């Protein structure tokens, strides 16, 4: 190989090394995508929040609950409370509501108010 030829990354020499590299890449991707979710809190004529968050808290008939990234699909009626949205910066946004519907699917949380 000529000296000025570009050098490529070393290739794994065994199946175990290949699997270990793939597992490491998958783990890093899961960690980065598992930290945030998209949250939208809106009413028919106003959007209160539309952005990324690390968690959202509210109250339903069962009691207080939190939604974190990678939560299973979920739908609930939300009771009168302050919906608390926590952002990546550590800020907390409180949206006082009378009632609403929350839908969680694939790291996306939609809270539709005044229904």
Chain segment 7-60, per-residue pLDDT in tens: 555 555 677 776 666 666 665 555 445 699 999 999 999 999 999 999 999 999
**Residue 90 domain flag:** yes
CATH of the domain at 74: 2.60.15.10
**Residue 29 domain flag:** no
Residue with tokens 């609403």: 100
Residue 59 has a pLDDT of 97
Residue with tokens 């699997």: 19
**Residue 23 domain flag:** no
Residue 24 has a pLDDT of 65
Q: Kindly state the DSSP code that residue 98 receives in the 8-state scheme.
A: S
**Residue 2 domain flag:** no
The residue that leads in pLDDT, 18 or 114, is: 114
Residue whose C-alpha is closest to residue 112's, from 36, 103, 82, 104 = 103
**Residue 93 domain flag:** yes
Residue 31 has a pLDDT of 47
pLDDT in tens, 95-110: 999 999 999 999 999 9
**Residue 84 domain flag:** yes
Residue 115 has a pLDDT of 78
> For residue 81, is pLDDT > 80?
yes
State both tokens at 78: 């939300």
């Amino acid at each position: 190989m000529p000296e000025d030829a570009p050098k490529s990354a070393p290739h794994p020499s065994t199946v175990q090394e290949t699997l270990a590299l793939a597992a490491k890449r998958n783990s890093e991707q899961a960690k980065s995508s598992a930290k945030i979710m998209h949250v939208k809190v809106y009413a028919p004529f106003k959007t209160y929040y539309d952005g990324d968050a690390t968690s959202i808290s509210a109250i339903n008939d069962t009691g207080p609950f939190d939604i974190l990234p990678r939560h299973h699909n979920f739908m609930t009626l939300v009771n009168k409370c302050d919906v608390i949205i926590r952002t990546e910066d550590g800020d907390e946004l409180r949206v006082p509501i009378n009632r609403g519907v929350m839908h969680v699917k694939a790291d996306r949380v939609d809270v539709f108010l005044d229904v």
